[in-house]
Structure 1
Amino acid sequence: MSTVSDVRAGRMSVSITDGIATVEICNLAQRNALTKAMCLEIQELMPRLDADPDVAVVVLRGAGDTFCAGASISELSFVLLDQQPNGSLVDHLSGADAAIASLSKPTVALVDGACMGGGWQIASACDFIIANQRAVIGLTPAKIGIIYPRPGIERLVRLVGHANAKYILLTGKTFSATEARALGLVADVVPSESFDVQCQALVTSLRSRSHFSMHSMKRLVDLTDAAHPDINQEWADAWEAMPHSPDMEIGINAFLNREQPQFTWRPAG
């Protein structure tokens, strides 16, 4: 195991074991609320994990029994509306969101306990969210007189549709994990008594999948989301690369021989 950051109040903690990087939100005094410094740390950390050849999968979770209470209320202006010397305003929460979303490797948010406000935004920047059955999720900007950041609203609309997005945002209601799954806020809900075991099994299975397949499909899905102008060329390039990847032959032979495939493709660099 290697440690990238020390576990400190109001900081991000990272451990890397067997190809899995676990990023933990650590601010127990504020129910893991995100400060400006934590948002900046996420922005610095994620590119390093993406470039680390020892990391295959990135997991985001909260320390203790809370995922994240959102942006720190005491630092809200600095987190969302940090005024720069030139007069412009910087949204550091959305900067952290973008850093997570830009990872080329599979990312999973494991949500236990409360996941509120900006906590859901950074969780949803991962490829998908797995929630503990006891988790509660709420997007509450209307309760404190602010606007949810644009990347969070746009992703929310893509996931749940316009009407449900308005319902979630305008009411500021807190949803159970089961309700959140029905709305599309999380991908799956796992019983509390087996949460850690099932999540570990899921993450381990991701580590064993074809990295070529996962990296390629993740990028293509993201480009579809963004209606990218070069998506046709991206598809053509990915399709052309498929037979040249060692993973295709490895996967087919393993299937025919009823063996577990040992994929070898790794991203350049």
Structure 2
Amino acid sequence: MSYEKIIYGCNNGVAKITLNSKANLNAFDHSLITEVIDALDKCESNPEVKVVILNGAGKAFSGGGDIAAMYKAINEGQDLEELVELAAQMAIKIKKLPKPVIASVHGPAAGAGFNVALACDLCIAAEDALFIQAFVNIGLIPDAGGVYLLTRSVGVSKACELALSGKRISAKEAFDMGIVAEICSIDELEEKTNKLALKMAKGPAVSYKNTKELIYKAQFSDFEEYLKEEVKAQVQCGKTEDFKEGMKAFLEKRKPNYIGR
């Protein structure tokens, strides 16, 4: 597959997948997710790849889902099922990849961007990083495994607060919650991420593989079954007037007028 929305490369045992759709803050659409999944498959099958870095080009890690594309699709009579299923596949690929995956986050990590970072094994964040469970702002639920990953990362109470409010949290707050492993300046982010990745690339690959498998069995063994329910719930939300109003309000840069508000 030739890539138009990511940059992929491998050097010294470290593969780097860079989200590269800068015009819309690396928002996830069908093409971007498909390319990320393909690159993850390459990482898995290539014995030279020992560690994977996932980062974003431009001003953000990822602004979340491509709302303009979703709005167009809904108006054309399509639903969200295929896109949500792809996002679920991406999260599973990251969690089950037998090699460490490091999220290197700067700027906004909103919606699916937040949850993709959560799916990674480690997250290094620049001081300007913002993490936002933005789904509720357009009448949706967290996808890409969001509720599942969030409750296991920060606990039920804090997950409820973040998912139901859509509030922004800083890199420092994310660090305090255990979402982020290390914070650094934006100027240091690439160097810090590369240093960690190169160190791990020289580490015990079989140990990493088995550790990830055991963590998955211990904490994520029903993840795939959960994702089936997530897709159903998101498709249901995607058929509501609240979702249509949420998308329209977002594109018009105003507050949504939800039913019953």
8 Å CA contact 2:124, 2:189 repeated in 1: no
Secondary structure at the counterpart of residue 60 of structure 2: coil
1:50 pairs with 31, 44, 66, which one? 44
1:14 pairs with 8, 30, 33, which one? 8
Distance 2:37 2:68 in 1: 21
How far the C-alpha of 1:121 sits from its partner, in A, is 1.2
Q: 1:81 to 1:110 in 2, by over 3 A?
A: farther
**Equivalent residue for 2:103?**
109
8 Å CA contact 1:71, 1:93 repeated in 2: no
Determine which structure has more spread, i.e. the larger CA radius of gyration.
Answer: 1
How far the C-alpha of 1:133 sits from its partner, in A, is 1.2
Distance 2:220 2:201 in 1: 26
AA matched with 1:22: K
Matches within 5 A, 1:1-269: 5-6=2-3, 8=4, 11-76=5-70, 81-83=79-81, 91-149=85-143, 151-227=145-221
Distance 1:99 1:81 in 2: 23
Distance 1:94 1:187 in 2: 24
AA matched with 1:197: E
The superposition leaves residues 215-252 of structure 1 with CA deviations (integer Å, 9 ceiling, x where unpaired) of 11111111110357xxxxxxxxxxxxxxxxxxxxxxxx
How far the C-alpha of 1:62 sits from its partner, in A, is 0.2
Secondary structure at the counterpart of residue 193 of structure 1: coil
Q: Which has the higher contact order (CA 8 A, sep 6+)?
A: 2
Measured on the aligned residues, the alpha-carbon RMSD in Å equals 2.2
TM-score when normalising by structure 2: 0.77
Distance 1:197 1:107 in 2: 16
TM-score when normalising by structure 1: 0.75
Distance 1:174 1:25 in 2: 21
How far the C-alpha of 1:75 sits from its partner, in A, is 2.5
Structure 1 spans left out of the alignment, 5+ residues: 229-269
The superposition leaves residues 183-234 of structure 1 with CA deviations (integer Å, 9 ceiling, x where unpaired) of 2322221233322222211111111111121111111111110357xxxxxx
Q: 1:81 to 1:108 in 2, by over 3 A?
A: farther
How far the C-alpha of 1:168 sits from its partner, in A, is 0.6
8 Å CA contact 2:28, 2:62 repeated in 1: yes
Structure 2 spans left out of the alignment, 5+ residues: 223-261
Distance 1:92 1:150 in 2: 8
Secondary structure at the counterpart of residue 156 of structure 1: helix
Taking only the aligned residue pairs, the percentage that are identical comes to 27
Distance 1:150 1:36 in 2: 13
AA matched with 1:218: K
How far the C-alpha of 1:57 sits from its partner, in A, is 0.7
AA matched with 2:145: P
The superposition leaves residues 104-127 of structure 1 with CA deviations (integer Å, 9 ceiling, x where unpaired) of 111100001111110011122211
Secondary structure at the counterpart of residue 88 of structure 2: helix
Distance 2:206 2:48 in 1: 16
